[in-house]
Amino acid sequence: MDRWLWAVGLAMLASCGGGGMEDGSAGPNGTAGPADAAAEAATEIEAEAATDVVAGIGAETLLAETLILSSDEFEGRAPGSAGEELTVDYLVEQFSALGVSPGNPDGTWVQDVPLVGITPQPPQNLVVSNGAGALTLEPSTDYVAATRHVVDAVAVDGAEFVFVGYGARAPEYDWDDFGELDLSGRILLFLVNDPPLDDIFGGPAMTYYGRWTYKHEMAAELGAAGSLVIHETEPAGYPWEVIGAAPFGETFDLAAPDDNLGRATFEGWVQRATAESIFEMAGLDFEAARQQAAVRGFEPIPLGVTGSLAIRNEIRRIDSRNVVAKVEGAEAPDEVLIYVAHWDHVGRDESLEGDQIFNGAADNATGTAGLIELARAYSLSARPPRRSVLFLAVTAEEAGLLGSFHYVRNPLYPVAQTVAALNMDVLNQWGRTRDLTIVGLGQSELDDVAAVIAEQLGRTLAPDPEPEKGFFYRSDHFAFARAGIPAFYADPGVEYIGKPEGYGAQKRIEYTANDYHQVTDEVKPDWDLAGAVEDLTFLYLMGRRLADGEEWPSWSETSEFRALRESQRPQ
Ligand SMILES: [Zn+2]
């Protein structure tokens, strides 16, 4: 039993007579004073858990809030849009009505997040040439690219394509896809994900090396002119339409002091078939190169084929906002537990026929509504938590976790005093489940807390069924993890109660194929939020236990984030 489970065991011992528990007196803090307080706290927690119902969390309110946030009036909640105004106003209104406090120490409900919005005007063809002939790639259909440079125009003229395999530079695995070749001024072509090996790079699970964000960061470091990831639907986890449709327009970034001139001139994706055509022009076989890339010792392959692309930008500076509410801790107000969910979605696309609004009902009106439900539950609790609890609705997650990265770089409460971040991104819409999917199960000691709550509620914890898709790196909890703060992300379970086997997996596949980042992500008549209510109850009890405790759960021994946390909070 690790020290966290030991503390939880002590609390249970104090509250329920210790049936079956180890002797708590063996622990380092088993003195009378704290034990009394622990007993009192534990009694209340047990009482709240006993009914499986937490006052303030309900399916009707959750649905009503989700309907408002995902209504056409909110225009898909793009940062900087009229939809942002409505969203921020709505959240502030809801939090105020609950009687919780403004979460910014300056006394306001918001944290300013300065962004730049960059729109290519209009998207140009990417011309590929081998001297003898040229291939014209169409935007959206064949490729997608944008520049993060905060300037009016950029151009890459006749830069050579170089295939860099998976593009991982991982000394701990004795792996380097870039070798000695000077890659400055080149257009790098990356395979999606990390090298598919059983023994390194997390096996089937994706490491940070597999994320497209990492690849573009490496391209910048190497001074590349362009950075293109070769999209393949299966390993990417989503179809080309997710890349090729809405996000082609405006891209957002945090307003960096260097106007992002350190980035590659353009960053984007090409379809796999397009990559095959580029290889063909070079007289090479894509599939053969792809196989070479899966072997240690791979060297970059210059293709002898060039690419030219000009992008003109429309730039606007946007003052976006994170919304933040707080319930002040009664005993340790400077220690903070954070619930986080992104309020933004991808907005609207006026080039579309018919429906133009990406309502983002599941993604992430549900999670944002979940923040309101949790804040209500805390506000209705008979006793304030021991530590402070923050309800943080962040902006621009869809643009690359920008609101949460801004928060951790400009924390309203010190990172070292932040106990954990519990993230919600897409709540369950299809009914009750026995299990709860923990994305990144095994990453941190928060799993031990989750296990205790699961046992109380008669539920089970399941690992992410698709660790190869790297979901741990794809929502706001990751920004907290990068900053060292133990972070937890639960997805809906897959074992649906009263539904045939495979129902959950089927629903997940349907959602990804039909609704994920599409205009059809709307509240559906067959939605059943009973499961979301149970998941929120779980998150309430888990957060409550962390907020009422004195422990500082850390990252697991094997986690890439543990060293950073230890530097913040020396043991
Ligand atoms: Zn989301």
Q: Give the CATH number, domain containing residue 516.
A: 3.40.630.10
Q: How many Å lie between the centroid of ligand 1 and the Cα of residue 363?
A: 5
Q: How many Å lie between the centroid of ligand 1 and the Cα of residue 499?
A: 26
Please tell me whether residues 8 and 140 are part of one structural domain. Answer: no
Coil/strand/helix, residue 429: coil
Q: How many Å lie between the centroid of ligand 1 and the Cα of residue 362?
A: 8
pLDDT in tens, 145-176: 988 899 999 999 999 999 999 999 987 788 99
Please tell me whether residues 104 and 150 are part of one structural domain. Answer: no
Q: How many Å lie between the centroid of ligand 1 and the Cα of residue 174?
A: 34
Count of CB atoms situated within 10 Å of the CB of 20: 9
Residue 116 neighbours by CB under 8 Å, 6+ apart: 150, 252, 253, 254, 255, 260, 315, 316, 317, 318
- Spans of the chain below 50 pLDDT: 1-35, 38, 46-50, 246-247
Q: How many Å lie between the centroid of ligand 1 and the Cα of residue 342?
A: 7
Q: Are 428 and 531 in contact (CB under 8 A)?
A: yes
Count of CB atoms situated within 10 Å of the CB of 93: 11
- CA torsion sign, 14 to 17 to 19 to 24? positive
Q: How many Å lie between the centroid of ligand 1 and the Cα of residue 287?
A: 33
Domain boundary among 315, 335, 360: 315
Q: How many Å lie between the centroid of ligand 1 and the Cα of residue 104?
A: 24
Please tell me whether residues 72 and 18 are part of one structural domain. Answer: yes
Q: How many Å lie between the centroid of ligand 1 and the Cα of residue 334?
A: 29
**Residues written for the chain:** 571
**337 phi and psi angles, rounded to 5 deg:** -105, 135
Q: Are 226 and 141 in contact (CB under 8 A)?
A: no
Please tell me whether residues 79 and 223 are part of one structural domain. Answer: no
Q: How many Å lie between the centroid of ligand 1 and the Cα of residue 390?
A: 19
Please tell me whether residues 40 and 179 are part of one structural domain. Answer: no
Residue-range definition of the domain harbouring residue 261: 118-315
Q: How many Å lie between the centroid of ligand 1 and the Cα of residue 395?
A: 11
Q: Are 450 and 463 in contact (CB under 8 A)?
A: no
Q: Could you tell me the CA-to-CA distances from 41 to 12, 458, 500 in Å, in that order?
A: 10, 21, 40
Q: How many Å lie between the centroid of ligand 1 and the Cα of residue 520?
A: 15
Query: Which pLDDT value is given to residue 1?
Result: 27
Q: How many Å lie between the centroid of ligand 1 and the Cα of residue 294?
A: 31
Please tell me whether residues 359 and 504 are part of one structural domain. Answer: yes
Please tell me whether residues 338 and 290 are part of one structural domain. Answer: no
Block residue for tokens 């619930």: 339
Give the C-alpha separation, 150 to 258, whole Å.
Answer: 9
Domain boundary among 273, 294, 315: 315
Q: How many Å lie between the centroid of ligand 1 and the Cα of residue 431?
A: 20
Please tell me whether residues 94 and 136 are part of one structural domain. Answer: no
Q: Which of 333, 360, 338 is nearest to 348 (CA)?
A: 360
Count of CB atoms situated within 10 Å of the CB of 411: 18
Please tell me whether residues 130 and 70 are part of one structural domain. Answer: no
**503 phi and psi angles, rounded to 5 deg:** -60, -45
Q: Are 317 and 253 in contact (CB under 8 A)?
A: no
Q: What residues are paired with 229 via a beta bridge?
A: 190, 269
Q: How many Å lie between the centroid of ligand 1 and the Cα of residue 273?
A: 28
Q: How many Å lie between the centroid of ligand 1 and the Cα of residue 426?
A: 6
C-alpha angle 269-303-136 in degrees, rounded to nearest 5: 55
Q: How many Å lie between the centroid of ligand 1 and the Cα of residue 271?
A: 24
Q: How many Å lie between the centroid of ligand 1 and the Cα of residue 427?
A: 10
Q: How many Å lie between the centroid of ligand 1 and the Cα of residue 394?
A: 11
Query: Which pLDDT value is given to residue 121?
Result: 81
Q: How many Å lie between the centroid of ligand 1 and the Cα of residue 191?
A: 24
Q: How many Å lie between the centroid of ligand 1 and the Cα of residue 471?
A: 11
Query: Which pLDDT value is given to residue 565?
Result: 94
Q: How many Å lie between the centroid of ligand 1 and the Cα of residue 469?
A: 15
Q: How many Å lie between the centroid of ligand 1 and the Cα of residue 182?
A: 38
pTM of the entire structure?
0.76
Q: What residues are paired with 421 via a beta bridge?
A: 338, 487
Q: How many Å lie between the centroid of ligand 1 and the Cα of residue 159?
A: 35
Q: How many Å lie between the centroid of ligand 1 and the Cα of residue 349?
A: 18
Q: How many Å lie between the centroid of ligand 1 and the Cα of residue 398?
A: 7
Q: Are 471 and 211 in contact (CB under 8 A)?
A: no
Query: Which pLDDT value is given to residue 284?
Result: 97
Please tell me whether residues 56 and 203 are part of one structural domain. Answer: no
Q: How many Å lie between the centroid of ligand 1 and the Cα of residue 476?
A: 9
Q: How many Å lie between the centroid of ligand 1 and the Cα of residue 328?
A: 28
Give the C-alpha separation, 260 to 188, whole Å.
Answer: 18
**Cα torsion at 103, 73, 536, 569 (round to 10°)?**
-40
- Domain with residue 174: its CATH number is 3.50.30.30
Domain boundary among 296, 315, 334: 315
Coil/strand/helix, residue 196: coil
Query: Which pLDDT value is given to residue 164?
Result: 98
Q: Which of 453, 421, 454, 461 is nearest to 555 (CA)?
A: 421
Please tell me whether residues 215 and 159 are part of one structural domain. Answer: yes
Q: How many Å lie between the centroid of ligand 1 and the Cα of residue 475?
A: 7
Q: Could you tell me the CA-to-CA distances from 282 to 134, 285, 331 in Å, in that order?
A: 11, 9, 67
Q: Are 147 and 154 in contact (CB under 8 A)?
A: yes
Give the C-alpha separation, 503 to 490, whole Å.
Answer: 19
Q: Which of 221, 161, 167 is nearest to 192 (CA)?
A: 167
Block residue for tokens 């119902």: 53
What's the structural domain count of the chain? 2
Please tell me whether residues 253 and 184 are part of one structural domain. Answer: yes
Query: Which pLDDT value is given to residue 44?
Result: 52
Query: Which pLDDT value is given to residue 35?
Result: 44
Chain Cα centroid distance, residue 213: 12
